[in-house]
Structure 1
């Protein structure tokens, strides 16, 4: 797909999505510069947010769908790579905040609501901000969005309690979020990761080279899809649980449900969800670079492969420790990446799987919902009045 010309891709209904997947390494380099250009303003804003209370600031990462999975991916990493003495990182979907705010927000806890949004026009994105303003006594808003003209950015422009960071080149035009997911995940990691700037910059550059390798090695990904399968599951540990959820959603979205999907943690999959696996199932496992955690990822890979219950069991891994010896997409020759940065090239592998699979089942990746019942920006949501 990455080597096809525009005319060929357009006939397949895949030109936009293919280009947006391939351009991500360049966008990650742009995102690093956006972080650097805004670092002083961000730190001043965070200092003001921390001053709302004497205890740790509750940092709630929020969004809906893929934007929700941004927080699910980055929060576990930041609990050990961020400053845990200052921040308590929590991923909570906007759909949960809006529908049951008392279950997910503490009105007496100083809170920074970090909103992830591709367009900023989803009803839940806007409603979550309003609910937090109504319900939480001391609250600030950090918006990470890709659309300067979106309502989240526009309506927050004059709010002294809000800071908006824009990643405009990541405002995906295709149906499925690709670069918007990876760039928002990266920017939030850069903001709260306590590693020195030069180290973070080196990680971004390494991730970008690995992403470029995914494009160059598309044929290896295509080989994984050569059989007759109708189910895909993604597994991972830590941050890669959120990544697994995002990866299965890409399959579901781009194939319009024609291929069944599941996701779980590497350890959690044994507790019932493993029943999903049959002889027409592809199982992908994202391998952690943490030596301790990696053992559990290897265990589930070896178990499913040894059971011989799946069509293929495939590791997505970096050559940074003990490797899975079966089917694998392995990144070699690069410095070891921590999970929030390794998630970037890993998700490109999953996006490529979803792109190729969409075409395989006769769907059009750029417009995968022929009935229009599933939309790029969610429609049909009723936001009911909330009083604290």
Structure 2
């Protein structure tokens, strides 16, 4: 490992910057995606057999849940899965964060509606994740659990042992990020869900090739963009890419220890107030859709911003010529890789060690300080 180069730095250089794990975990993602796809292919029959009777429930509700970055997995995939899964008119897919379920369980859980709770967790030990599972079992008459986690020793994974209403999707060991910020854990858990519910080998191969191209050809360019002395960084994406923009904004905020305010919106939503944050020190990253219809709105906003000439820099991870034909849920993988790299270099620009950007402990790798209260219904 010590002779490896990640994101243009040697191991020794990364050690000095407190950045070894973050650089390694960002760089390893295309390789882990391949490993994960092979593992899922080997388990396909077993997983399909477990899911079949659940998906046959005529009014099934699938809730994809997690906290923070883990919650954005469901947000990124829900529109795509709703479109591509063979659902009956009474079935639906929703993305609801565990933090929302915990604070208002009776608003999000319905006792008479059969529910598959898909729980995402890097460690599987966050208090909200464990509580959301318990609340679902308490409040929903027929409830199943698909646990998607990177830690086989976590509480969520352990809950699956010996219970046929639970199923564990365990990510490759290397996806259990040791860095503070979730990178490979996010994309692996997102990919596993796509490959399970709406697999598409052609889309997978194209997105993986784009990601490899970013790592091989764009790292220096992203590093140069990160040196721009911006005061605000904005990420814009529509449809499934809105959640990718949200995750990108969180990555920058986390990795810079809050020193660089970062924001997200859709290109159309940006005009409705958020555009007022623009000044000549604002850097903006547009995540353009590959959908011909959606991309018209992306292009309109880009032209408007270029015409206004008020932003420090306006760019996109990939040109439209490279992304044509790729569905936006799959396009999210190379896009978030690009944004993770930008967040990494922004952290270094601000003198922050990305492996542990908050060493004083106000924010932790696994959330602490949450008091769980018993929920009783009137």
TM-score, normalising length: structure 1 = 0.92
Cα displacement string for residues 146-172 of structure 1 (whole angstroms, at most 9, x for unaligned residues): 101111101221222110110032111
CA distance in 1, matches of 2:84, 2:142: 26
1:275 corresponds to 2:280? no
Contact 2:119 2:129 in 1 (8 A): yes
Contact 2:227 2:346 in 1 (8 A): no
Contact 1:29 1:205 in 2 (8 A): no
CA distance in 1, matches of 2:46, 2:319: 35
1:17 corresponds to 2:18? no
1:140 corresponds to 2:144? yes
1:130 corresponds to which of 123, 134, 148: 134
- SS of structure 1 residue aligned to 2:311: coil
CA distance in 1, matches of 2:254, 2:72: 15
1:345 corresponds to 2:321? no
1:182 corresponds to 2:187? yes
Deviates more, 1:219-228 or 1:63-72: 219-228
Match of residue 363 from structure 2: 374
Contact 2:65 2:74 in 1 (8 A): yes
Cα displacement string for residues 8-55 of structure 1 (whole angstroms, at most 9, x for unaligned residues): 11101111100100000001111211221221122112122134x433
Displacement after TM superposition at 1:97 (Å)? 0.7
Number of positions where the alignment pairs a residue of Structure 1 with one of Structure 2: 369
The residue correspondences of 1:1-388 to structure 2 (distance < 5 A) are: 2-51=7-56, 53-55=57-59, 57-85=60-88, 87-167=91-171, 168-193=173-198, 200-216=200-216, 217-320=218-321, 332=322, 336-388=325-377
Cα displacement string for residues 308-356 of structure 1 (whole angstroms, at most 9, x for unaligned residues): 1210111233534xxxxxxxxxxx3x77321222111111100000000
CA distance in 1, matches of 2:132, 2:274: 31
Contact 1:142 1:163 in 2 (8 A): yes
Match of residue 3 from structure 2: none
- SS of structure 1 residue aligned to 2:102: helix
- SS of structure 2 residue aligned to 1:262: strand
CA distance in 2, matches of 1:337, 1:223: 27
Displacement after TM superposition at 1:202 (Å)? 2.9
Contact 2:125 2:155 in 1 (8 A): yes
Contact 1:305 1:312 in 2 (8 A): no
- SS of structure 2 residue aligned to 1:153: helix
Runs of 4+ in 1 over 6 A off after TM superposition: none
- SS of structure 2 residue aligned to 1:16: helix
Displacement after TM superposition at 1:7 (Å)? 0.5
Contact 1:24 1:179 in 2 (8 A): yes
Contact 2:40 2:195 in 1 (8 A): yes
Contact 2:288 2:320 in 1 (8 A): no
TM-score, normalising length: structure 2 = 0.94
CA RMSD of aligned residues (A): 1.5
Displacement after TM superposition at 1:181 (Å)? 0.5
Cα displacement string for residues 178-209 of structure 1 (whole angstroms, at most 9, x for unaligned residues): 0010111111111111x5xxxx2232222222
